[in-house]
Amino acid sequence: MGNLTVIHLRSRGSGSWSPKSSAVWTRPTQYAIFDGLHLMSWIAQKVFAYEQMRFAQEANRRVLPFAWGLEHIGGSANERDPRGWLENFARETVAHSDEWFTATPADDYALSDNVLTFTSAIASPWPENNRVHAQFFQARRSGPAVVVLAQWNSRWEEQQNVCRWLNRLGITAVKLSLPYHDRRSIPGHPRADHLAGPNIGLTLQANRQAVLDTRRTLRWLEQQGYDRLGILGTSIGSCLAFLTIAHEPALRAGAFLHVSTYFGDVVAAGLTTSNVWETLHHEISLEEARRYFSPISPYPYIAHLHGTRKKILAISGRYDPTFPSELTDEFITAIRRDGVVFENLSLPCGHYSMGVPPFSYAVGYRFGTFLFQSLA
């Protein structure tokens, strides 16, 4: 096995990856083990350098103020015990998640110039966000169709090639704009700050809204005659796609690019959410973040897939500083332990770098053939 180097990595706050570190993130009090004579392999160093570069290039990233935001999830903005309220809310919501994620079809679907619009199932405080926009890429008039959920802060034109690739395979695709993204962005927030932010209640509401919007999109596809339905999610879109497939009987298959356990763990650990944790870690612990955000986390719902015969594909990067491999491994172990049949692919790349050659070619081939075979 070669020489082993063991290092203890310092973290920021209550558990995060420090962008100034030259090594991969690990949780506080844990250790990173690297095989070989050097701390990291040549490819790992290149990947981390690329991830850092892409992270630094993102504009408009801000550190926003903390808020409990209970008024967005049925509570009171003046709640005297917000921690106790959230603990109870999270526990009850996970226990009754089928009800929390229920969505009826919209009554105002409209398709114009291959853009589907309809009213969201949730009325957020901003009307711009409450009108759903989705790009329609039609391959056939019936048969297989996939809803595509892109990454956090994705732009309107991103992942269009993913949809065109699915079209070449004979699969119709609908790329859904997530809450607070592109055409749903709200004044003063060019980034989708409210889908993953330090306002706990608003983040919970926004992610629930995304799942309900996805289910409304699936109802429209059914109305058009599509009867073999799948879902494809990337990064936070992967999380949302998993929440959807765990609660949506009509979905036959799901491909997930980047996977993890708990929403709160990724916020605390992830490079791209470091600005969010910069606020949160002063107010709540990592354990509280894990519990408070559990209703929008994949881990509690793995058991929902047991016995459903849904097809699952998980693709991850071994050098991912946004969805750390430790969390991915925990997810894979849990889903395997629960007896859910799935396929997985691990590539020597990171988060941003999964979307560029040569990794993007391998990813596209794998999820394309998987969805083609699963929805045949």
Question: Considering only 5-9, 64-68, 221-225, which range has the smallest mean pLDDT?
Answer: 5-9
* Other C-beta atoms lying within 10 Å of the C-beta of residue 103: 22
CA angle 307, 308, 312 (to 5 degrees): 110
| pLDDT value at residue 59 | 81
Q: Which residue has the tokens 């998640």?
A: 97
Task: For residue 303, give the CATH number of its domain.
Answer: 3.40.50.1820
Q: Do residues 287 and 356 both lie within one domain?
A: yes
Q: Do residues 31 and 172 both lie within one domain?
A: no
| pLDDT value at residue 40 | 64
pLDDT band at 6 (very low <50, low <70, confident <90, very high): very low
CA distance linking residue 376 with residue 371, whole number of Å: 8
Q: Do residues 50 and 132 both lie within one domain?
A: no
DSSP string, 209-261: HHHHHHHHHHHHHHHTTEEEEEEEEETHHHHHHHHHHHH-TTEEEEEEES--S
Closest CA to 274 of 156, 152, 110, 370: 152
Q: Looking at the domain assignment, is residue 42 inside a domain?
A: yes
Beta bridge partners of 112: 115
Q: Do residues 34 and 114 both lie within one domain?
A: no
Q: Do residues 108 and 134 both lie within one domain?
A: yes
User: pLDDT tens across 8-49, in order?
Assistant: 232 333 333 333 333 333 333 333 334 443 456 889 999 999
Q: Looking at the domain assignment, is residue 119 inside a domain?
A: yes
Q: Looking at the domain assignment, is residue 63 inside a domain?
A: no
Q: Do residues 252 and 303 both lie within one domain?
A: yes
User: pLDDT tens across 108-120, in order?
Assistant: 999 999 999 999 9
Q: Is 69 helix (H, G, I), strand (E, B) or coil?
A: coil
- The alpha helices in the chain, defined as continuous H runs, are 42-57, 82-95, 97-100, 160-168, 200-223, 236-247, 263-269, 274-280, 286-292, 325-337, 359-374
Q: Looking at the domain assignment, is residue 53 inside a domain?
A: yes
Q: Looking at the domain assignment, is residue 253 inside a domain?
A: yes
- The pLDDT mean for the chain works out to 90
Q: Looking at the domain assignment, is residue 64 inside a domain?
A: no
User: pLDDT tens across 140-173, in order?
Assistant: 999 999 999 999 999 999 999 999 999 999 999 9
User: pLDDT tens across 292-348, in order?
Assistant: 999 999 999 999 999 899 999 999 999 999 999 999 999 999 999 988 989 999 999
| pLDDT value at residue 249 | 97
Q: Do residues 244 and 167 both lie within one domain?
A: yes
Domain with 123 in it: 70-374
Structural domain ending residue among the three candidates 21, 36, 57 = 57
**Which backbone phi and psi does 128 adopt, to 5 degrees?**
-60, -35
Answer for the pair 254, 242: CB distance below 8 angstroms, yes or no: yes
pLDDT band at 58 (very low <50, low <70, confident <90, very high): confident
Mean pLDDT computed over 265-269: 97
Q: Looking at the domain assignment, is residue 62 inside a domain?
A: no
* Number of domains comprising the chain: 2
| pLDDT value at residue 23 | 34
User: pLDDT tens across 196-229, in order?
Assistant: 999 999 999 999 999 999 999 999 999 999 999 9
**Which backbone phi and psi does 239 adopt, to 5 degrees?**
-60, -50
Q: Looking at the domain assignment, is residue 65 inside a domain?
A: no
Please indicate whether residue 338 or residue 174 has the higher confidence score (pLDDT): 174
| pLDDT value at residue 41 | 86
CA distance linking residue 162 with residue 182, whole number of Å: 18
Q: Do residues 169 and 43 both lie within one domain?
A: no
CA distance linking residue 191 with residue 185, whole number of Å: 8
Q: Do residues 228 and 136 both lie within one domain?
A: yes
Closest CA to 257 of 247, 268, 242, 243: 242
Q: Do residues 86 and 40 both lie within one domain?
A: no
**Which backbone phi and psi does 231 adopt, to 5 degrees?**
-145, 145
Q: Do residues 88 and 53 both lie within one domain?
A: no
Closest CA to 300 of 246, 250, 234, 230: 246
**CB under 8 Å to 200, separation ≥6 — which residues?**
67, 68, 69, 70, 86, 284, 292, 293
276 has pLDDT over 70:
yes
Q: Do residues 190 and 323 both lie within one domain?
A: yes
DSSP string, 162-188: HHHHHHHTT-EEEEEPPTTSGGG-BTT
